[in-house]
Amino acid sequence: MISLTQSPPLLHGRLYQLPTKRRTLFTVRSSSSLQEIDKSSPSKVEERELSSELYASVPFPSIKAKKRVVLVRHGQSTWNEEGRIQGSSNFSVLTKKGEAQAETSRQMLIDDSFDVCFSSPLIRSKRTAEIIWGTRKEEMMTDSDLREIDLYSFQGLLKHEGKAKFGPAYRQWQVDAANFNIDGHFPVRELWARASNCWTKILAHESKSVLVVAHNAVNQALVATAIGLGTEYFRVLLQSNCGVSVLDFTPRPEEGSPYICLNRLNQTPSSPVAAGSSGGRKTSKRIILVCQGSTQDIEASFSNLGDRPLNMLGILQAQKTAELLLDLKVSAIVSSPRSACAETATIISRVQEAADCLGADCVPRYVEMKQIQDLDVAEILQQSTKDTIDVSSLRPGCLNGLDDEVMSTLWEQSGRAWHSLLTELSDESEKETIIVAVGHPTVLVALMGHCLNLTKEWLGSFHLDAGSISVVDFPDGPTSRGVIRCINYTAHLGRWSIPITRSTVDDESF
């Protein structure tokens, strides 16, 4: 195994001001990588307002061929189990559960081809990488920049000990991590710089398919810096033990920084909807975005997007999604009025309503169903003049090819749809509210953008497959920021799911 020496951090990004409108929780950003610059310490109020607004403009290095990077967090460790703050310490090892999670991830990735594996040198991550890598003969490399976030005096403490010993500092770590300061360091800012440095080395490596095995915080930073999100997005893009995230890098014709697309986020060995918490925080408000099943439109383009029903594969995908959601008590199912979406919603509804009917005297569960016109984007997409885009598969980053006027209209309409979903979620009559929204992948991508308070330029930064689900939790309620639990989760589709990686034989696929 080869070890890489640490290099000086590389900073990235551009500054965009936050618009003064509803849910002003994040700085709105352009779709280029960002990295915060440290500065002299202002007052705490100024620090909270300004810390995420100072960025340097340096793009990612150009690449010559498409590259797919698969990120995996290590399995459960002994200190995870104890509730002890690990940081970059190297005293914990995988538990039996952690070893089993790593084995499940190995099975998840067993048919996928990789050219190289980058791993954190810490025991818990390195062991996870060894289990997943199995009998592969390709190169494994450790890189100290992939170690977990440096938490200095916090490391080794149980969480209640950290709260008792550090008081206000621990509170800031919980509620304002981007500006958290300990022992003269800003750990999250340092982590973002380190993640950018990692990308420079990963992209410089001559490989098309890369496995990276690391940790919770550093994987969050890797995802965020890749798609251009600053430190205020820490704890927004969830990374569970052995969760798999995928990023696609596509070279630009004119060289320069590559197009970057988050293909999936946090595909876990266990169900993404099983637990009612996000990152250890209890949540009673949740939106589940369900991508319609496959339709009878094999050769469809944006200008030829008709109202087609589900094909047989689409029906199977909808049934598998309904099974995944079986143990949840869904409050309402909202869908586009288009045939494929309405069919998918109906299949989920029937399974939900039959969920409690296991005995002779049962009473069927009622699930409210609604259709929202703003979730129907077919007519908007048909306005596109770029017929070369195949919407039957919607390859990663393909929405970059939409006309600007079409993107603006799509963004405006999807914003109204997102507001409608938040209104549905605000029902205080129910202690727990779960809204399922079914739509075309294009509108669901836009909804995630609104959730993250981004701009229309981000439409090409996310990807969804037919039959996938994406989960957004609201641990502080629907008026506060959402936590993305997973994006483009497809493991529930079983044999009909899309492999994490694809053949690297030709340049047309990852």
Domain ranges of the chain: 2-6+61-267, 277-496
Whether 79 has a binding-site annotation, put simply, is: yes
Q: Which amino acid is at 21?
A: K
Whether 75 has a binding-site annotation, put simply, is: yes
CATH architecture of 277-496: 3-Layer(aba) Sandwich (3.40)
SS3 232: helix
The catalytic residue among 12, 36, 148, 450 is: 148
Q: How far apart are CA 157 and CA 151, in angstroms?
A: 11
Exposure letters 450-470 (e unless 16+ CB within 10 A, then b): bbbbbbbbbbbbbbbbbbbbb
What residues does 345 pair with on adjacent strands? none
Whether 365 has a binding-site annotation, put simply, is: no
> What integer pLDDT is reported at residue 199 of this predicted model?
96
Q: How far apart are CA 79 and CA 74, in angstroms?
A: 12
Whether 76 has a binding-site annotation, put simply, is: yes
Query: What region, left, alpha or beta, does residue 266 occupy, with left being phi > 0 and alpha being psi -120 to 50 degrees?
Result: left
Count other Cβ atoms within 10 Å, centred on residue 168: 7
Whether 440 has a binding-site annotation, put simply, is: no
Q: Is 79 exposed, middle or buried (0-12, 13-18, 19+ CB in 10 A)?
A: buried
Q: How far apart are CA 503 and CA 319, in angstroms?
A: 28
The catalytic residue among 12, 74, 215, 440 is: 74
CATH architecture of 2-6+61-267: 3-Layer(aba) Sandwich (3.40)
> What integer pLDDT is reported at residue 386 of this predicted model?
57
> What integer pLDDT is reported at residue 447 of this predicted model?
97
> What integer pLDDT is reported at residue 425 of this predicted model?
95
10-residue mean pLDDT profile of the chain (510 residues): values are 48 34 42 37 39 46 94 98 97 97 94 95 98 95 98 96 96 96 97 96 95 98 96 96 96 89 93 69 91 75 68 95 93 96 96 73 80 94 63 57 88 97 89 95 96 93 95 93 95 78 44
Strands 139-143 and 116-119: parallel
Q: How far apart are CA 491 and CA 502, in angstroms?
A: 16
Whether 184 has a binding-site annotation, put simply, is: no
C-alpha dist (Å) from residue 375 to 378, 391, 443 = 9, 17, 7
Q: How far apart are CA 55 and CA 210, in angstroms?
A: 28
Q: How far apart are CA 467 and CA 496, in angstroms?
A: 9
Residues 436, 273: contact at Cβ < 8 Å?
no
What predicted TM-score, i.e. pTM, was given to this entire model?
Answer: 0.86
Q: Which helix (H) or strand (E) holds 338?
A: none
Whether 124 has a binding-site annotation, put simply, is: yes
Whether 78 has a binding-site annotation, put simply, is: yes
* 74 counts as catalytic: yes
Are 2-6+61-267 and 277-496 in the same CATH fold? yes
Residues 184, 150: contact at Cβ < 8 Å?
no
> What integer pLDDT is reported at residue 274 of this predicted model?
80
* 148 counts as catalytic: yes
Q: How far apart are CA 219 and CA 236, in angstroms?
A: 12
SS3 282: strand
